[in-house]
Amino acid sequence: MLLSVLNRKDKLKFLDLAMHMVSIDGIPTDLEQRLLNMMLAEVGDNIVAEYHFALSKKLPETTNYFKKASKKIKNIVYLNLIKIAMSDDFYNTLEHNFLEEIRETLDISEMKKKQLMRLVYLERDLRERAKRVVCH
């Protein structure tokens, strides 16, 4: 969501964070993998061709990179990480702790976190309502 706003380096660094998010609790679920594929489509083929699909061993360097970013970029990155964490019905402690660490590093307020989480829930609700309308 809104990943096209990011510049080339932001997109590559975001993918590092996204890979950590989907791998934090083990093997990514099918749903997480599908969401990651949608995000890859959103960042663009040129970025996907450039990205090395391996967990970065430089996670602190990646999170510190976004410390200097604008609030808008930080919010987009955090919103998409929340979306990954909430993609399946199992939101565990490892995901929560990772998100909180990122939130604190990026200096995102608790209020902004709640607003971003609400957007993710609204999107999920809309998708579920659309399924019900189309299927019945």
Predicted TM-score (pTM) of this structure: 0.88
pLDDT tens string 44-91: 888 888 887 666 677 888 899 999 999 999 999 999 999 998 887 667
* Rounded Cα–Cα distance for residues 55 and 23 (Å): 8
Domain count, the chain: 1
Question: How many CB atoms within 10 Å of residue 48?
Answer: 15
Handedness of CA 113, 95, 33, 19 (dihedral sign): positive
Q: Would you state the pLDDT for residue 99?
A: 95
Mean pLDDT across the stretch 108-115?
A: 97
Sign (positive or negative) of CA dihedral 93, 24, 60, 36? negative
Query: Given a cut of 80, is residue 103 above it in pLDDT?
Result: yes
CATH number for the domain spanning 38: value is 1.10.3680.10
Q: Residue 14 has what pLDDT?
A: 93
Domain of 18, in residue numbers: 3-135
